[in-house]
């Protein structure tokens, strides 16, 4: 089937939906999502969204905290713009129907604090902020007559001149995006979606690693698509590991224990119940994430243990049960009463700071292609994202991208539009259905273990080289499978994970200093 719309949005998380709502008055919008519309990292966000809402805080402080967490390599102008825009974007979320906790009905927002923040500035909805944001945005989007949300449609590749038979390399100037090919996961048909503007809002790539807090759909599809289309990517060596995921080995994704709990007074302890963060940073349990995750990793390696503890008991029973109901219930379901017991924790891959390079309008290096949310690299996070700045970045850049897209659609280049007719449909001739799922599932596990063991929190030249060599074999085997098989969602995801792993390793090897989340025992401190 062929579809033609004004705005094509890939992803129904905070970035995709807030963009869709803004452009909808100006044309027909189609939102594709590979699973159910609710599924994505957004709905799992716990801590909240950072913004300066009152005079007790200041933009300068939030800017300073972001720059410090980013370890000196954030884009300062982007940081200033994002943080100054935050209050307006928060007000819009509230207008869409999103509810943040307040002191009394209609009172001031109840603000939390997380690692690296010098002030209480995290707006939240109990400990399930993301679910509330997703609910509010999805309800608003579903009511809009110009927005169609199509579930279980897996975007495979961005359509460019390459599909018109032209040779496209990373040096080709003026690569253009005409839309995407997408697999209908129910019928296995590959459809052609043509659009004046395409926004990638495909989220993160946590599943490159064996332990991750991100949902199974986070397989770096947007980044891999842009890589194959020869677009520009940046900073992928900066994978953020959250210090405190619940240690419950069989569970995937790993359940998160929000940093807001440390903000409320919970303390990291070793297996003997002793505090250890004083050995690593004066900010103790509330140091930025890269430092805390490395400290935990080190303590685990020294002691040979699989997990350490977070002790939240000092917060008090009432505040724990009322303020952190999701975590309380989850832990209780596996026999841990957080009001009495310490919580077993370990780090998990959590957030990709790098991604598709975009300018301040959210434009990628490929014409008519935008990116927002976790798949984009704006320069806000530098070497390490400050907690709760991700949801913020997503709404700010969805807004900027929407404003720029609206202008572009109103003065659209008709020459580009005429090329839509030349786009061929997907050709699956000669392909056979791969009956051996084990080839895919086993390769995925191998890949995730290689990345966890060799390209994790602490790296070395030898580990990176070893990962690269192992990945090469996996890459060749999988491309061979791809070239003779009918395309399926698991195969497509595996190819994307391999592409992302390759890019992480390549960029990690190229980074010759320890900065932010990139830490190698062979390199000196910057």
The residues that touch ligand FAD, with contacts defined as CB under 6 A, are: 10-16, 32-35, 39-42, 44-49, 129-130, 153-155, 201-204, 213-214, 217-218, 221, 256, 350-351, 373-374, 388-391, 394
Binding ligand SIN (rule: CB under 6 A), the pick from 47, 222, 253, 354 is: 47
Rg from Cα positions in the chain = 22
With beta carbons less than 8 A apart as the criterion, state whether 366 and 175 touch: yes
Shortest separation between residue 30's beta carbon and ligand SIN, angstroms: 29
**Which partner in ligand SIN, ligand FAD, none is near 49 (CB below 5 to 8 A by kind)?**
ligand FAD
Planar angle of CA 358, 363, 368, nearest 5 degrees:
145
How many angstroms separate the CA atoms of 285 and 271, rounded? Answer: 16
* Cross-strand pairs, 308: 345
At 94, list the tokens: 């509230």
**Peptide bond before 253: cis, by omega within 30 degrees of 0?**
yes
**Which partner in ligand SIN, ligand FAD, none is near 126 (CB below 5 to 8 A by kind)?**
none
In b/e form, how buried is each residue of 302-321, taking b as 16+ CB within 10 angstroms?
Answer: eeeeebbbbbbbebeeeebe
With beta carbons less than 8 A apart as the criterion, state whether 355 and 369 touch: no
Nearer to ligand FAD, 338 or 375 (CB): 375
Sign of CA dihedral 13, 15, 20, 25: positive
Shortest separation between residue 394's beta carbon and ligand FAD, angstroms: 5
Burial of 128 (0-12, 13-18, 19+ CB in 10 A): buried
Shortest separation between residue 10's beta carbon and ligand FAD, angstroms: 5
Contact status: 260 vs ligand SIN (CB under 6 A): yes
Shortest separation between residue 381's beta carbon and ligand SIN, angstroms: 10
Nearer to ligand FAD, 221 or 237 (CB): 221
With beta carbons less than 8 A apart as the criterion, state whether 214 and 254 touch: no
Nearer to ligand FAD, 12 or 161 (CB): 12
Contact status: 191 vs ligand SIN (CB under 6 A): no
**Which partner in ligand FAD, ligand SIN, none is near 221 (CB below 5 to 8 A by kind)?**
ligand FAD
At 214, list the tokens: 């991100």
Query: Which range touches ligand SIN (CB under 6 A), out of 96-104, 155-163, 383-391, 428-436?
Result: 383-391
* Site residue total, ligand SIN (CB under 6 A): 9
Nearer to ligand FAD, 206 or 344 (CB): 206
With beta carbons less than 8 A apart as the criterion, state whether 409 and 378 touch: no
Nearer to ligand SIN, 348 or 474 (CB): 348
Contact status: 388 vs ligand SIN (CB under 6 A): yes
Residue 511: DSSP 8-state? -
Contact status: 387 vs ligand SIN (CB under 6 A): yes
Q: Say whether 289 is catalytic.
A: yes
How many angstroms separate the CA atoms of 225 and 456, rounded? Answer: 24
Which residue reads 């995006």 in tokens?
Answer: 177
How far is C-alpha 168 from the geometric centre of its chain's CA atoms?
28
- Give me the DSSP letters along 230-248: T--EE-TT-EEEEEEEE--
| Active-site option among 43, 289, 385, 459 | 289
Nearer to ligand SIN, 225 or 394 (CB): 394
Contact status: 390 vs ligand SIN (CB under 6 A): yes
Nearer to ligand FAD, 90 or 217 (CB): 217
Contact status: 394 vs ligand SIN (CB under 6 A): no
How many angstroms separate the CA atoms of 97 and 74, rounded? Answer: 32
Residue closest to 226 by CA, chosen among 208, 201, 206, 207: 201
Contact status: 42 vs ligand SIN (CB under 6 A): no
Binding ligand SIN (rule: CB under 6 A), the pick from 259, 297, 363, 393 is: 259
Shortest separation between residue 19's beta carbon and ligand FAD, angstroms: 9
How many angstroms separate the CA atoms of 350 and 45, rounded? Answer: 11
How many Cβ atoms sit within 10 Å of the Cβ of residue 273? 9
Shortest separation between residue 242's beta carbon and ligand SIN, angstroms: 6
At 495, list the tokens: 């190819």
- Binding residues among 302-361 for ligand SIN as defined by CB under 6 A: 351
Shortest separation between residue 218's beta carbon and ligand SIN, angstroms: 13
Contact status: 46 vs ligand SIN (CB under 6 A): yes
Write down how long the chain is. 526
How far is C-alpha 266 from the geometric centre of its chain's CA atoms?
26
Nearer to ligand FAD, 213 or 520 (CB): 213
Shortest separation between residue 141's beta carbon and ligand FAD, angstroms: 11
Query: Which range touches ligand SIN (CB under 6 A), out of 15-23, 384-392, 434-442, 461-469?
Result: 384-392
- Would you name the residues annotated as active-site residues? 289
Q: Which residues bind ligand SIN (CB under 6 A)?
A: 46-47, 258-260, 351, 387-388, 390
């Amino acid at each position: 089937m062929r579809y033609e719309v004004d705005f094509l949005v890939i992803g129904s998380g905070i970035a995709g939906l807030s963009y869709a709502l803004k452009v909808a008055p100006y044309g027909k919008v189609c939102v594709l999502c590979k699973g159910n519309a609710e599924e994505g990292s957004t709905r799992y966000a716990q801590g909240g969204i950072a913004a300066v809402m009152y005079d007790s805080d200041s933009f300068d402080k939030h800017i300073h905290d972001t720059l410090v967490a980013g370890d000196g390599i954030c884009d300062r102008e982007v940081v200033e713009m994002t943080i100054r825009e935050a209050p307006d974007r928060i007000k819009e979320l509230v207008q869409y129907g999103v509810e943040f906790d307040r002191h009394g009905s209609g009172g001031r927002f109840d603000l939390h604090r997380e690692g690296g923040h010098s002030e209480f500035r995290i707006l939240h909805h109990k400990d399930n902020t993301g679910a509330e944001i997703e609910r509010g945005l999805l309800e608003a989007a579903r009511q809009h007559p110009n927005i169609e949300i199509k579930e279980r449609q897996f975007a495979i590749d961005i359509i460019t001149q390459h599909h018109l038979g032209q040779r496209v390399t990373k040096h080709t100037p003026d690569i253009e995006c005409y839309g995407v090919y997408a697999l209908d996961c129910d019928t296995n048909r590959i459809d052609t979606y043509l659009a004046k503007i395409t926004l990638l809002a495909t989220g993160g790539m946590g599943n490159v690693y064996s332990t991750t807090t991100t949902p199974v759909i986070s397989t770096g599809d947007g980044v891999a698509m842009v890589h194959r289309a020869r677009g520009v990517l940046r900073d992928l060596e900066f994978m953020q590991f959250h210090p405190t995921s619940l240690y419950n080995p069989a569970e995937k994704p790993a359940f998160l224990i929000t940093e807001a709990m440390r903000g409320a007074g919970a303390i990291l302890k070793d297996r003997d119940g002793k505090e250890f963060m004083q050995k690593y940073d004066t900010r103790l349990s509330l140091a930025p994430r890269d430092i805390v995750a490395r400290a935990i990793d080190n303590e685990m390696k020294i002691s040979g243990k699989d997990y350490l503890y977070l002790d939240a008991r000092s917060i008090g029973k009432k505040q724990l049960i009322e303020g952190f109901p999701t975590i309380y219930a989850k832990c209780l379901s596996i026999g841990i009463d957080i009001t009495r017991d310490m919580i077993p924790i370990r780090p998990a891959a959590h957030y990709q700071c790098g991604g598709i390079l975009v300018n301040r309008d959210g434009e990628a290096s490929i014409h008519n292609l935008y990116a927002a949310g976790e798949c984009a690299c704006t320069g806000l996070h530098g070497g390490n994202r400050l907690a709760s700045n991700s949801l913020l970045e997503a709404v700010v850049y969805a807004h900027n991208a929407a404003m720029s897209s609206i202008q572009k659609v109103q003065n659209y280049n008709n020459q580009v539009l005429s090329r839509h007719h030349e786009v061929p449909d997907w050709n699956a001739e000669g392909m056979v259905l791969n009956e051996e799922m084990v080839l895919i599932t086993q390769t995925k596990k191998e890949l995730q273990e290689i990345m966890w063991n060799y390209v994790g929190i602490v790296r070395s030249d030898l580990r990176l080289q070893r990962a690269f060599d192992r990945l090469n074999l996996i890459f060749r085997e999988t491309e061979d499978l791809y070239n003779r098989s009918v395309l399926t969602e698991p195969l497509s995801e595996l190819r994307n994970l391999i592409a992302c792993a390759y890019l992480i390793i390549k960029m990690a090897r190229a980074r010759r200093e320890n900065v932010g989340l990139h830490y190698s025992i062979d390199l000196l401190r910057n």
